[in-house]
Amino acid sequence: MRSVALDGPEGRLRARRWDVVVLGSALPGLVAAVRLGMAGARVLVVAEEAAAKTPPLLLEPFYLAAARPDGVLQACLTALGVPPIERRGSERGELAYQVLLPDARIDVGHPARTQEEWVAWGLAKPELARDAVRGLESAAQAEAEALLEATLIRRGVRRTPARPAPTGRVGGRHLRGLPASLSRPEPGLARFLEVQVRALSNLASSQPSPEARARLLGAPLEGGVRFAPGRGVRALVRRRLEQVHGELRVAGAPFELVEIDGHPGIALWRQRDAWLGRALVLNAPAGRLAAALEEHGSEVPDFLRVAPPPRRRAALQLRAARDVLPEAMCERLIVVDEEGADPICVAVHPLEREPRHVDVTALRAVDAAADLAGVHDALERVVRGLLPFSERRAARVAEAPVPGWDDELSLGDPAGAGGGWPTEVEIRVPTRAPVFVLPREELAGLGPEGDLLLGWQAGDTIAAALPRPALG
């Protein structure tokens, strides 16, 4: 990070100041910005132009458990001050999603229904299905409680190894990790479970920890929630940001990370602007941000010199007549169209002003260098295959563009062996100016719940680290 002067050799810059500047518009940064705003800080969230143009539905989480009032989602929305009236439009159901394998269509949701489905499709015998589903339900609840009680952000400057989480059962109570009944599942059941893990986590290629797998696989047993049009999780958080001391701006030109008079931020040389904060929060993949800076000849700080995320999600949105939806089709599906391929997450979204139509989103993890045009065509074929008689009654609305650095659809892996939940993560960057980074990949094994919790605790940690004059 280069130290510059407002009136330096490159020319005079016009300084605009906030308490905190959040660079990147992904969900963890939005959550952190709300918590900072609730603490009294004036917050600026900077989005890349391509990210700002991405259709909002393509950035909404595919699935989040929300049936329990004391669950992760509801606890987070409460901590963000989202009033119950804004959540009132959501509907809860016993069915979380359907998993479509080449030879099966399996409902996942209420424990009794899920248990029946496992038996009916030959994934497990009745006794094993009962024990495994009960074990997953208990494991997921134990994991949710642990997540809400844990310290996810390392508070001290010294690195300490994370304590291993206890596993198994004590006195009939499940502690942590997957239940013993799923330690060695039959091949059919193992494939069914793995498909869900790959669809629900935000990992590029590594495996989630047993604790994260327990949460991913057990949370859907709470059922599912459908948000009213325009009231998805990301939309609620962004609206809340605007209600506190926050704003979102688009950086449409190249910039450089700078420090001016001890205040970190970005310099947009073409606009002759400097957007500065008492603290800077990097809410984007470090490797992608480094590549963007290097491309425009800007100095790249050492802490950004890491490999960019190897994978991302390709996303497509179509609009279809509601009556082409099959009656038995769930509003969320995990589709396996070919063996060995990553699953496709398909979601149906009602429209507020067009009740006769719905929007359908489809997302699939691909290599970062994949031919997106071909992937989008394949996604459209899969969606049309799910909608009989959709010819001329369904059309492509939008594709997710690929931002240079502000890419919420990127997929990363924790650094080093044993990374990810339940370890603590470091967010303070060793620079003279107060700079923080939100390492989304470290909690990627938890999927969107990891994003929410990372942003929540990071916001509180950064607020506590700000000088008192910055607040109030």
Reported as a single tens digit per residue, the pLDDT across 332-361 is 999 998 877 899 999 999 988 888 999 999
pLDDT at 301 over 80: yes
Lowest mean pLDDT among 127-141, 190-204, 415-429: 415-429
Predicted pLDDT at 165:
46
Residue 284 is assigned to a structural domain of this protein: yes
Residue 464 banded pLDDT, cuts 50, 70, 90: very high
What does the pLDDT average to over 108-119?
96
Residues 259 and 209 grouped into a single domain: yes
175 pLDDT tier (thresholds 50, 70, 90): low
Which pLDDT band, with edges at 50, 70 and 90, does 89 fall under? low
Condensed to tens digits (0 to 9), the pLDDT of residues 212-222 reads: 999 999 999 99
Question: Number of folded domains in the chain?
Answer: 2
Cβ–Cβ under 8 Å, residues 101 and 178:
no
The conformation of residue 228, written as its DSSP 8-state character, comes to P
Query: Of 379, 399, 419, which marks where a domain is finished?
Result: 399
Please report which helix (H) or strand (E) contains residue 97, including its range.
Answer: strand 95-101
Per DSSP, which regions of 273-409 are E strands?
Answer: 273-282, 311-321, 332-335, 344-350, 357-367, 394-399
Assess whether 235 and 360 both reside in one domain: no
Point out the least confidently predicted range of 152-156, 316-320, 432-436.
Answer: 152-156
Dihedral angle sign, alpha carbons of residues 407, 61, 411, 381: negative
Q: Which of 256, 238, 258 is nearest to 247 (CA)?
A: 238
Q: Is residue 98 part of a domain?
A: no
Vertex 151: Cα angle to 146 and 157 (nearest 5)? 155
The pLDDT tens digits for 44-75 are: 999 999 999 999 999 999 998 876 777 899 99
pLDDT at residue 468 in the model: 63
Asked if the model's pLDDT at residue 172 lies above 90, the reply is no
The last residue of a domain, from among 350, 374, 399: 399
Q: Identify whether residues 409 and 334 lie together within a single domain.
A: no
Residue 16 pLDDT greater than 60, yes or no: yes
* Residue positions counted in the chain: 472
Confidence of residue 157 (pLDDT cuts 50, 70, 90): very low
* Of residues 244, 251, 245, 249, the one with CA closest to residue 268: 251
Answer yes or no: do 248 and 351 share one domain.
Answer: no
What integer pLDDT is reported at residue 227 of this predicted model?
82
Q: How far apart are CA 426 and CA 354, in angstroms?
A: 46
Residue 366 in domain: yes
- Of residues 449, 439, 445, the one with CA closest to residue 154: 439
Is 422 among the domain residues? yes
- In this predicted structure, what is the pLDDT of residue 108? 97
Please report the pLDDT score of residue 159 as a whole number: 40
In a domain, 15, yes or no: yes
Together in a domain, 386 and 278: no
In a domain, 171, yes or no: no
For residues 297 and 316, membership in a common domain is answered with: no
- 70 or 377: which leads in pLDDT: 377
Residue position matching structure tokens 């308490």: 19
Are 130 and 239 within one domain? yes
Whether residue 134 sits in one domain with residue 87? yes
Q: Tell me, yes or no, whether 435 lies in a domain.
A: yes
Residue 27: give the domain boundaries.
1-91+109-166+179-309+402-472
The pLDDT value given to residue 169: 43
Query: How many CB atoms are closer than 10 A to CB 159?
Result: 8
Q: Which of 236, 209, 245, 192 is nearest to 44 (CA)?
A: 245
Last residue of a domain, one of 399, 431, 461: 399
The lowest-confidence range among 157-161, 251-255, 303-307, 433-437 is 157-161
d(C-alpha 312, C-alpha 50), whole Å: 15
What percent of the chain shows pLDDT beyond 70? Answer: 93
At 83, which CATH number?
A: 3.50.50.60
Q: Of residues 135 and 226, which shows the higher confidence score?
A: 135
Averaged pLDDT for residues 132-150 = 94
Give the residue-averaged pLDDT of 374-391: 93
Whether pLDDT at 95 is above 90: yes
Do 20 and 84 lie in one domain? The reply is: yes
Q: Which residues contact 417 (CB under 8 A, 6 or more apart)?
A: none
Could you give the dihedral angle defined by the CA atoms of residues 55, 438, 288 and 308, in that order, rounded to the nearest 10 degrees? -110
CB 455 within 8 Å of CB 194: no
pLDDT of 448 over the 90 cut: yes
Query: What pLDDT shows up at residue 191?
Result: 95
Residue 158 has pLDDT above 80, yes or no: no
Q: Which pLDDT score is estimated for 164?
A: 43
Share the mean pLDDT of the chain.
90
Beta bridge partners of 92: 225
422 or 467, which is more confident:
422
pLDDT digits (tens, 9 = 90+) for 236-283: 999 999 999 899 999 988 999 999 999 999 999 889 999 999 999 999
Q: Is position 103 within any domain?
A: no
Same domain, 297 and 407: yes
What is the predicted pLDDT for the residue at 156?
55
Q: Are 82 and 134 contained in the same domain?
A: yes
Residue 167 pLDDT exceeds 60: no
**DSSP class of 314:** E
Bridge partners (DSSP) listed for residue 276: 17, 265
Residue 317 in contact with residue 411, Cβ under 8 Å? no
- Are 268 and 219 within one domain? yes
Q: What is the pLDDT of residue 106?
A: 97
CA distance linking residue 365 with residue 444, whole number of Å: 14
Per-residue pLDDT, 85: 81
For residue 42, CA distances in Å to 24, 255, 259, 262, 314 come to 16, 21, 19, 18, 34
